[in-house]
Structure 1
């Protein structure tokens, strides 16, 4: 936009009388003229706006054939069940084509229509009701539909569950007194339902009625195993004899990973009533974590909806009937010194409407420790601080949600554990180990956390919250090598002035070189606080503009470089699902770092599940078995460490001596594992065998990998990507479980923390270069070890993707105190990787 100067010359093309005015008269005349012109302009502007709006909403609407299609009529659907009074059950009701079913269904549908007549709004927009099934009791399952035209869409919020129920209950009360010949309804429910769930009882496409017996039977989604069709509306009604419940397991389950488009909804009912929902699932599940559900009664409904453009294989399901008592059995009095309790049907989903009570009683003078090895009771819309639906209750507290650690200790020799599930939404539940202990020595040779957990004594007062409740970090007498925070915590002196708020109250950073009103550049330089995000690169390294979206055009080592040469000053701009670059290059190569399988969080577990780390590779040397790790970058390229190949022996550098195994979990099981020979080994040309600098190597495969559920690439970070100190990441591999031990059979995972560069340089006595980083725990206990070399250090970002921060390189021993693992820093090696592979 440019500016222009406009002048008014007063000419209108007519001859006028010329009067000479005094200065005051001239001023008044000019004011009046200005006011008149201002009013005229304002009127014209208003008129123009009104005219435009009229044209936009009247004429333009008529001209645009797509305008009316932008707003669509609304369909409001409600489903539920009705319990009938004094109505004998007829087995023919289970046959939707029988005269008995159609006669009773028609009568109930007519009554539902009459009940809605008492509400003027519902009466006006009511379309139809449909009874879809009956079960013992007699219980009728139904849905009712209301269609709201485009011109009445503002009324949609008026269609609530409360309003529907009020109309139905009022109609039922009235019919009892006025029309005693009507079928008597003693209870009715109504729940707002996705209209896509509505099926007619005699639907011919993708509608099935199944009878569960004690023998395994199967059914599959349409198109399985190739791909289900889009816009599928499928329903399976499953029944069993009255004394049984139904269990359904899905040995294979792969639905698009977006539950708004494609999903499977399972109900403890024959109606898609959300108050009776067991679960709603999408995505992929590994064989080690199959979906398994159990009903509370002898009926179950499974709906499958697909609307997404991407079709997946679908599912294969196995169903059967189980005796009701065997499923409902739980709880009891336990007097053994140790044992295990779990939610009903664990590891399957627990049934709805369950209550269990365990009384664990150990000898007098002892107490009970209860340690949960798995806890998952997640439910939509539940406040985990209240746990008002499904929960475990012990020692006066309720627990729900997904917990990474939970350990309880009784105050006496007895503890009571209650488990409750309501009628809707279930989950995997819990498993817990209990044991008796001497309160005088609750954790022999270990430290006792307030929560009841036992941790190694070395972890107390080491600066890390190992207990989870900070009980190992309070009442500490700081050692000579520790700094006393103002809040009473002890932190290693190495953490002072490392630009990280380790204490939590910033007391470890207050006495540093920069004043409170100053900004410290990442190179340690102190600048005025005003330099931050001012659009100028004041720090030599440009760190004052590193995360400033208001600083376009400034390029520094912290900027993300777009393919077109532009710079984005935003922390970790790549693959965050936002187009920051004008050419969208920051989101161009982001088919990486995702785990297709849905995985459980196993509390305290270190064995990796199948598909948990799909980019992990095992490298076998000759006939010696596993020797090093690697990660998948693409179908043809792996990333590893140079020290695995550049050794005193020339045999290590020969590609023919190596085999790669992708998709492996167990070294002795090769099902679905892809073996590839190595075509070319590319160590970094500047790799130093003495210092381990530039410890990175690329491996080109002889033939490409086929990506599967358990074989996927990890994302490579850009050179500007930031992995902050204190960030929790994971190191994985088949290395030794402890120093001096032999390699592991099962893939192992260990959570480690990124250690800042100042501390890293100190604890390694200055041996790290800018191509290296430290990660681990300064207290020791958790680390990579021999055999993990070349494997990835994987970090999870808020974007939902995993990035490789490091490559296992070297360390002094394994998991020693103050000796963290040293990793090759991928961000510093990124340009070389791109040059060699094009990735």
Structure 2
């Protein structure tokens, strides 16, 4: 690996802030202004004083209007140009060769000539430096520096964005030298200001040229044994042979979470051109996360910038070159048959920039082509809500689609037996892409005995007008006549009757929460359902009786009630859920103690396939195995020695002594049941403590504690979940996560890979009606009442994880339910807040 001890190679030769073309007036003849001796000394003194005052004022005005206003800011622009009358020479790879220097001088001279064609640029231009050359004929990569008056940055940015027009103007100049470079594809953009900060103490530059069948690695300095250097800018210029492209595969990315501080940026270029950036990364990515990028040509640039604090291990990536026509890098073609699949290049990894593919699909005569995108991830920063798709998109059957779309909702059917699908990616920012399937269907009846959504998706007719967006485009919920057992919302939607008066606006227009016999206008409802005037909220008096009118009032100390958070010094806070939120609210700091919990070390990302949890996403999840029998229940880590699970998991079952510690093995850090790798720790148990009041018939008090035979050492894959305070509020409608290896369907087999599902906490009164009066005050309901998402057999004892800020709290323990994922039948969980005293008594947590 070649090491270069410099970063940006160009250093301005002058630090003057003024325009050197300004001419100063010659000095006047001073003798003309010599004062003659006057008769009155007082008059002379008066004139002198007056002149001094005028001079002072003039000086101040000159300073104010000339120098003070002439504040200039440094602007850096990066760009590239294709030199068509030159042939690439291997010496151009090395910046120290004479060939490189001679061509670089020609490029910088010509850039100066190009900028001279623009009044906005010529006045402020400082200089340029060539950073690299690559094949095709010869591509030059450069940096240009300007000193721009404050407030003029936008006009200079605009002029630089039109640099290709300036180059064309320069090309048509009659006085142009005969040996000038013939330029095409001249482009430029403002350099990311974070890349030329004056605070950088270290600049490092590396170069790599891969070869066929050769694997090289690039990594941040010090990786993996020491943190990367602070206040540093680093860049890796990567090259492949002509006819090849670069494949960059990260096996580790571990940086500070905030990209404003430390980040890695990847460019489809040899210089940091912002409209050639492929991706920006920070935080910690799981090794199971696919992070593989392909270049569009034979060059790529990786940059890394760090600030002065919180430095991490950094990154390591594998660099190889693959043929441009390889299967991973190509797409499109003819697709024939009754059904089949196709995907964007490199899926489920990132597709390359500047790519265009076209598939022509043909099914048997007399049929139509139905295309359904199972995954669709074509998102770009800042364009998440874009409708006209100006960047990356898929065009099929007259539809132009981009962004991130729900699974299976992008679909259409042709009226003939052929369809053309086009995929286009521009030069900047890439994404995972898509995978799609096509099938031959009856054009007259593409959804036999089913309902056809507006987006061509087929669903069961029973799912129409039931309050659930099963189509994904709401077409199954439009033009409905609501059934007698449904709520008719004013906006025309139908919602299940059991959602009426549950405290959540399910209609979207408040219809289901009106006429509930609740509080009048101008009143608030207390937690105990009492109504008090809104004016009494936060007035310093406990008008509700339970103190709920004085919660979240911005006051630090309040009288203690069952709803207020109590600090260790026995003072109470009005703030709801203050623990581990990053702000010290208790004077003794006790609300921020023991907060190394509830966080995955890995950056959360979209799951490309199914509802598999990412590796390390829920590091407090435990798999409980009966020895020699496999997975039986789940559990949650709450400390190095203690787990929380369900009491019904540890009840003796015939000859199976589930109440005895020696029956069990606990697997911590496990992701796939079939792969007990090096990240997994297997522990035996020392003690099992079921709740003494557990009722095997009602499942009331369904909670148990397990003590490990020795403390576990935390890792990226093994961490505790945050324990909520007794007063922690988990409101109805709040989204929470269920996880486990349980059966993926009722009566089915257990999952191999840890599954996750996002569900919603359901109002206790509503849930009690649904579950026919079986819900106690120590139970919590959560689910998606449409069915299809729920915990199931084998998930018992596992966590119901509730996000709060950047952490997860243990809201519940998987307890029981009526079947699995049945419509209108939520999962029932043991409410952890009800047992905080009992848990602390036995575990100290």
Short-chain TM bin: 0.7 to 0.9
CA distance in 2, matches of 1:762, 1:468: 29
Change (3 A) 1:704 1:822: same
Q: CA deviation at 1:270?
A: 1.0
Residue correspondence of structure 1 range 108-123 to structure 2 within 5 A? 108-112=107-111
Q: Which of these residues, 691, 694, 712, is aligned with residue 684 of structure 1?
A: 691
Give the conservation status (yes or no) of the 8 Å contact 1:76–1:159.
no
Partner of 2:102: 103
Question: What is the CA deviation profile of residues 745-796 of structure 1, one whole-angstrom value per residue up to 9, with x for unaligned ones?
Answer: 2222233322211111112222221110111233433321211110011233
1:694 has 2:701 as partner: yes
1:220 has 2:215 as partner: no
Give the conservation status (yes or no) of the 8 Å contact 1:252–1:290.
no
CA distance in 2, matches of 1:428, 1:784: 29
Q: CA deviation at 1:390?
A: 0.9
CA distance in 1, matches of 2:239, 2:453: 49
Moved more, 469-478 or 416-425: 469-478
Give the conservation status (yes or no) of the 8 Å contact 2:288–2:615.
yes
Moved more, 82-91 or 269-278: 82-91
1:251 has 2:251 as partner: yes
Partner of 1:52: none
Give the conservation status (yes or no) of the 8 Å contact 1:384–1:399.
no
Partner of 2:296: 296
Q: Which of these residues, 755, 759, 762, is aligned with residue 762 of structure 2?
A: 755
Q: Which of these residues, 488, 499, 503, is aligned with residue 499 of structure 1?
A: 503
Provide structure 1 residue ranges, at least 5 long, that are not aligned to the other structure: 1-71
Give the conservation status (yes or no) of the 8 Å contact 1:536–1:554.
no
Question: What is the CA deviation profile of residues 558-608 of structure 1, one whole-angstrom value per residue up to 9, with x for unaligned ones?
Answer: 333344444443444334444444555444443333333345434771333
1:282 has 2:289 as partner: no
Partner of 2:391: 389
Partner of 1:816: 822
Change (3 A) 1:437 1:597: farther
Q: CA deviation at 1:379?
A: 1.6
Provide structure 2 residue ranges, at least 5 long, that are not aligned to the other structure: 1-70
Partner of 2:232: 232
Question: What is the CA deviation profile of residues 607-651 of structure 1, one whole-angstrom value per residue up to 9, with x for unaligned ones?
Answer: 333223222110112222111101222333322112212446693
Change (3 A) 1:555 1:371: farther
- Root mean square deviation of aligned Cα: 3.3
Q: Which of these residues, 817, 836, 839, is aligned with residue 830 of structure 1?
A: 836
CA distance in 2, matches of 1:603, 1:168: 39
Q: CA deviation at 1:458?
A: 5.0
Moved more, 740-749 or 265-274: 740-749
Change (3 A) 1:255 1:499: closer
Q: CA deviation at 1:256?
A: 2.7
Give the conservation status (yes or no) of the 8 Å contact 1:373–1:602.
no
SS across alignment from 1:508: helix
Change (3 A) 1:781 1:281: closer
Give the conservation status (yes or no) of the 8 Å contact 1:736–1:742.
yes
Partner of 2:319: 319
Question: What is the CA deviation profile of residues 66-101 of structure 1, one whole-angstrom value per residue up to 9, with x for unaligned ones?
Answer: xxxxxx996432111133352343221112221111
Question: What is the CA deviation profile of residues 408-433 of structure 1, one whole-angstrom value per residue up to 9, with x for unaligned ones?
Answer: 12252444322111111111111122
Partner of 2:379: 378
Give the conservation status (yes or no) of the 8 Å contact 1:372–1:603.
no
Moved more, 607-616 or 179-188: 179-188
Give the conservation status (yes or no) of the 8 Å contact 1:534–1:551.
no
SS across alignment from 2:836: helix
Question: What is the CA deviation profile of residues 275-330 of structure 1, one whole-angstrom value per residue up to 9, with x for unaligned ones?
Answer: 11111112233233221111111111112223252333333322222222336532
CA distance in 2, matches of 1:743, 1:116: 67
SS across alignment from 2:349: coil
Question: What is the CA deviation profile of residues 366-407 of structure 1, one whole-angstrom value per residue up to 9, with x for unaligned ones?
Answer: 444333222222222224323211112234333222223333
1:628 has 2:663 as partner: no
Q: CA deviation at 1:718?
A: 3.0
1:162 has 2:163 as partner: no
Q: CA deviation at 1:670?
A: 0.4
Q: Which of these residues, 358, 378, 399, is aligned with residue 401 of structure 2?
A: 399
Q: CA deviation at 1:145?
A: 3.2
Calculate the TM-score normalised by the size of structure 1: 0.83
CA distance in 1, matches of 2:650, 2:380: 50
CA distance in 1, matches of 2:684, 2:141: 60
Partner of 1:540: 545
Q: Which of these residues, 779, 782, 787, is aligned with residue 789 of structure 2?
A: 782
1:710 has 2:706 as partner: no
Change (3 A) 1:264 1:84: same
Give the conservation status (yes or no) of the 8 Å contact 2:120–2:159.
no
Change (3 A) 1:511 1:168: closer
SS across alignment from 1:358: strand
Partner of 1:331: 332
Change (3 A) 1:437 1:594: farther
Moved more, 785-794 or 812-821: 812-821
Q: CA deviation at 1:245?
A: 1.6
Q: CA deviation at 1:134?
A: 0.9
CA distance in 1, matches of 2:332, 2:696: 61
Change (3 A) 1:570 1:465: farther
SS across alignment from 1:651: coil
Q: CA deviation at 1:541?
A: 2.7
Give the conservation status (yes or no) of the 8 Å contact 1:74–1:156.
no
CA distance in 2, matches of 1:118, 1:588: 63
Change (3 A) 1:372 1:558: farther
Q: CA deviation at 1:364?
A: 4.8
Partner of 1:734: 741
1:410 has 2:417 as partner: no
Partner of 2:432: 428
CA distance in 1, matches of 2:520, 2:368: 51
Moved more, 548-557 or 483-492: 548-557
Partner of 1:190: 188
Q: Which of these residues, 612, 628, 631, is aligned with residue 617 of structure 2?
A: 612
Change (3 A) 1:336 1:710: farther
CA distance in 2, matches of 1:256, 1:712: 19
Moved more, 440-449 or 640-649: 440-449
Partner of 2:362: 361
SS across alignment from 1:644: helix
Change (3 A) 1:815 1:140: closer
1:743 has 2:744 as partner: no
Give the conservation status (yes or no) of the 8 Å contact 1:216–1:318.
no
Give the conservation status (yes or no) of the 8 Å contact 1:143–1:198.
no
SS across alignment from 2:424: strand
